[in-house]
A and B are shown apart, each in its own frame.
Chain A
Amino acid sequence: MDYKYIDQLLERYWQCETSLEEEEILKAFFSQKNVPAHLAPYKDLFRYELAEKECEALGNDFDAKILTMIDEQNSVKARKITMTHRLMPLFKAAAVVAIILTLGNAAQRSFTNDNADSDIDYANYKDTYSDPSVAYDKVENALQMVSKGINQAQLQADSVKQLPSSAKDSSIKE
């Protein structure tokens, strides 16, 4: 059998010069069972194209299947949301605030004023008097009072110590 025509068609196929009709001839040729040995390597190529063509066709029930799948996805299922999950954003926000406050507090303590060793925040102190002389007088009076108090307490403590033990006992009994 002369396969010259087929060889020519193949040659033109590789050069991309074949028409659709000529490609159909090639496919029809390679779809038959008995193909000469020298053309057998190309058999699978043309058979594959035929098989692909068959598969590409969509069935009549394709639309129905897709719509069913979409409907299934849209179905709403009840999900249990616990109180913990519901309040989770709140907890996260609280944690962020806490971290900011802690860092701010630490920064304030370490960077502000020369009273870093003190545990009292003097920044909140508002002076009653703007005139240092008036403030000085008030502090002096207060110191005088503290001094008198300490002295008085000391004197009383000393006098109790100096009391004879019998006098202490009697005073307690009284």
Chain B
Amino acid sequence: MRRVLCFLAIFLASVLSYGQGKQDFASRFMQQCREDTAIHCITVSPHMMGQMLKTHSAEQNEEINRIISKLKSAQIITVSRRGEDYYQYAEQMLEKNRYRFQRDKTYQNTHACGCFYIRTKGNEIVELVMLHKDTKAGQFILINLTGTIDEEFISNLTRMWGGHTAKL
């Protein structure tokens, strides 16, 4: 009997280890909503990130390239209707996985609101998830970035389009 339990334990452990921690949040979200035709997902793999940097080496892109060079992948999910529902669903998923993702900043204005979730490894942010909903247009956007999202990345990013340095 002890041997049987040992076999089962090894089997379960290996299956669980094989299935866990293989996806970023956007991939999981897409997996949950794979039958939903309203969702559109754009995926940029690490290989494509490298290709992008090779083809856009001009001077005017230097700032953006510096930001992109820190990224490994990007996934952008968009839904053009019932954005509120998708926003809530994504938020629930993130809250369920709160041991993996910590809630960070939130923002709100008259027609839109959003929030950020981060996943850290040691002291480094390795994954950033942004949830955004446009309450007026009913649109939902999820941006999932993976890579080395350090202070330099954030300061470059916020300076590039906002002229304001922020911290996550």
Contact = CB atoms under 8 A, between A and B. Distances in A.
A150 B74 contact: no
B8 A154 contact: no
B107 A153 contact: yes
A126 B47 CA distance: 10
Contacts of A121: 22-23
B68 to A, nearest CB: 6
B89 to A, nearest CB: 19
Contacts of B161: 143-144, 147-148, 151
B46 interface: yes
For the residues of A in contact with B, the DSSP-based class is helix
For the residues of B in contact with A, the DSSP-based class is mixed
A87 B85 CA distance: 47
Contacts of A129: 42, 44, 48
B106 interface: yes
> Which of B8, B128, B158 is most buried by chain A, counting CB atoms within 10 A of its CB?
B158
Contacts of A126: 43, 45
Interface of B: 1, 3-4, 7-8, 10-11, 13-15, 17-18, 21-24, 27, 41-49, 51-52, 54-56, 64, 67-68, 71-74, 76, 105-109, 114, 116, 121, 126-128, 130, 132, 141, 143, 145-146, 154, 157-158, 160-162, 164, 166-168
